[in-house]
């Protein structure tokens, strides 16, 4: 009986260890921006030597040279490419606090609001410019080509600037294309040249004698 209890205890410990390792393996590495911030904080400027030196010495000096052995406990909610671009190249516009030790605090929510507004503007511009172009283009063939071009631009912007899944990209692109197709079909139907073509080219000519 004691052996059975011991086996059960060992199995319980094994399963707990297995679940722990599974959870640990699912944790991803920190983003490049976060790792760079940690690496920067672990290095100080030595005024005597006039160069940057790691705070820790020995083997620990190279502890933060790579993020392969590091994990992040909480992933950021905003990991799309447009947000990453703004965080990397335009952080100076979103600084909330700057300290004397060459470090600054940048709230992610500020960047998220900016990216949201920018994404809405891009969507509106793509739709407005497409409708405007299709309105002034008279050649039906060119109109259909422009629908394909704007469809590719919209799908590319959604795929590059957001974290949308493939199914969501397809759905958004289909809705966008449907708007353009309805607009084009309405214009094509009202085109007198095409109306004559679709009706077999028959027309009634009248003239005065």
Over the chain (209 residues), the average pLDDT of each successive run of 10 is 83 91 82 75 68 70 72 73 82 73 74 87 89 86 89 88 83 89 69 46 48
The rounded distance, in Å, linking the Cα atoms of 134 and 120 is 21
The rounded distance, in Å, linking the Cα atoms of 41 and 54 is 9
The rounded distance, in Å, linking the Cα atoms of 117 and 109 is 12
Give 47: exposed, middle or buried? Use CB within 10 Å, 0-12, 13-18, 19+. exposed
pLDDT of residue 51: 66
Question: Which of 72, 97, 127 finishes a domain?
Answer: 72
Structure tokens at 84: 């990453």
**E-state strands within 55-128:** 97-98, 104-105
Question: Which of 72, 91, 120 finishes a domain?
Answer: 72
Structure tokens at 117: 């507004």
Structure tokens at 19: 């679940």
In a domain, 103, yes or no: no
In a domain, 88, yes or no: no
Mark whether 189 and 130 lie in a shared domain. yes
Q: At residue 25, what are phi and psi to the nearest 5 degrees?
A: -70, -25
pLDDT of residue 201: 47
In a domain, 86, yes or no: no
pLDDT of residue 83: 83
Tell me how far the alpha carbon of residue 73 is from its chain's centroid. Answer: 21
In a domain, 6, yes or no: yes
User: Which of 68, 70, 106, 76 minimizes the C-alpha distance to 89?
Assistant: 106
Alpha-carbon distance values, 173 to 133, 139, 140 (Å): 18, 24, 22
The structure tokens 């400027």 sit at 45
Number of domains the chain contains: 2
Mark whether 64 and 118 lie in a shared domain. no
In a domain, 80, yes or no: no
In the chain the first and final C-alpha atoms are separated, in Å, by 120
In a domain, 89, yes or no: no
pLDDT of residue 152: 92
In a domain, 87, yes or no: no
Mark whether 116 and 190 lie in a shared domain. yes
Give helix 166-190 / helix 108-136 axis angle, nearest 10°: 30
Mark whether 118 and 175 lie in a shared domain. yes
Residue 30 CB neighbours (<10 A): 18
pLDDT of residue 66: 74
pLDDT of residue 61: 67
What is the domain range of residue 134?
111-197
Give helix 81-89 / helix 32-41 axis angle, nearest 10°: 30
Mark whether 115 and 67 lie in a shared domain. no
């Amino acid at each position: 009986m004691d052996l059975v209890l011991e086996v059960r205890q060992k199995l319980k410990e094994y399963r707990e260890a297995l679940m722990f390792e599974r959870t640990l393996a699912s944790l991803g590495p920190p983003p490049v921006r976060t790792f760079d911030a940690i690496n920067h904080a672990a290095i100080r400027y030595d005024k005597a030597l006039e160069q940057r030196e790691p705070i820790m010495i020995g083997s620990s000096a190279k502890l933060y040279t790579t993020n392969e052995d590091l994990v992040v406990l909480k992933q950021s909610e905003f990991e799309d490419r447009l947000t990453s671009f703004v965080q990397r190249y335009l952080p100076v516009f979103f600084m909330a606090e700057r300290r004397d030790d060459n470090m600054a605090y940048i709230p992610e929510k500020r960047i998220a609001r900016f990216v949201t507004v920018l994404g809405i503007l891009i969507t509106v511009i793509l739709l407005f410019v497409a409708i405007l172009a299709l309105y002034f283009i008279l050649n039906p063939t060119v109109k259909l080509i422009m629908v394909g071009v704007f469809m590719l631009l919209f799908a590319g912007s959604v795929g590059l600037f957001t974290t949308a899944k493939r199914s969501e990209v397809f759905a958004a692109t289909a809705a966008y294309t449907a708007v353009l197709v309805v607009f084009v079909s309405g214009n094509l139907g009202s085109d007198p040249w095409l109306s004559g073509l679709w009706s077999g080219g028959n027309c009634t000519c009248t003239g005065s004698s």
